[in-house]
Amino acid sequence: MAVNNRKSEQEASAHAGDCMIISKRSLKLLGVMLDDKLSFGKHVEYACKRASMAIEALSRMMVNSSPVCSSKRRLLAAVAVSIHRYGSSVWASALRVERNAKLLASTHRLMCLRVISAYRTVSGDAACVVACMMPIGLLIKEDAECYDMRRDRNARRTANASSLRE
């Protein structure tokens, strides 16, 4: 992978014995997808795909008509939230792109709907409130602010307060 800021695609290739190595537009490094523009759009797609697989597993284990309480569903939904938040202090700038923010929000909305056993006509904000879950955009902004202020003792409290004010 060659990182550049040009609009044209650049490919590089190398020969190693009788094997030819061709550069790609993105690669996975420590679970974070890096693309050639360092825009992290591929990582948002990758994280949403992985989180939706976790949400599907949650919905298969606990169908909407089951009598399982929402606190147990919320515990299992924390897996999908952690998939979303992995490395978020690095790629939080990707949320400035509206497409990435909408993709994360839609996946998070599905998870909230599964937690509260609601119909798909319920809005994302209402589902977050009823499920007692913070919107994913705020959580990721909070993580990024905590990373930026990591030397401060009260970084999490300060970042939480500032993200709630917005």
Output the DSSP codes for 20-87: EEE--SEEEETTEEEETTS--HHHHHHHHHHHHHHHHHHHHHS-TTS---HHHHHHHHHHHHHHHHTT
Domain residue limits at 58: 40-165
Per-residue model confidence as pLDDT tens for the chain (166 residues): 555 555 556 667 777 888 887 777 777 778 777 777 777 888 888 888 988 888 888 778 776 666 667 777 788 788 888 888 888 888 888 888 899 889 999 998 988 888 888 888 998 889 989 888 888 888 888 888 888 777 666 766 777 777 677 6
Domain count, the chain: 2
| Partners of 28 in the β-ladder | 33
pLDDT at 10: 64
Same domain, 147 and 116: yes
Residue type, 62: M
Say whether both 99 and 145 belong to one domain: yes
Burial pattern 9-26, b for ≥16 Cβ within 10 A else e, equals eeeeeeeeeeeeeeeeeb
27 shares its domain with 87: no
Same domain, yes or no, for 54 and 126? yes
Say if residue 47 is in the same domain as residue 17: no
Domain match, 104 and 114 both? yes
Q: In Å, how far are 49, 57, 103 from 77, measured between CA atoms? A: 15, 10, 17
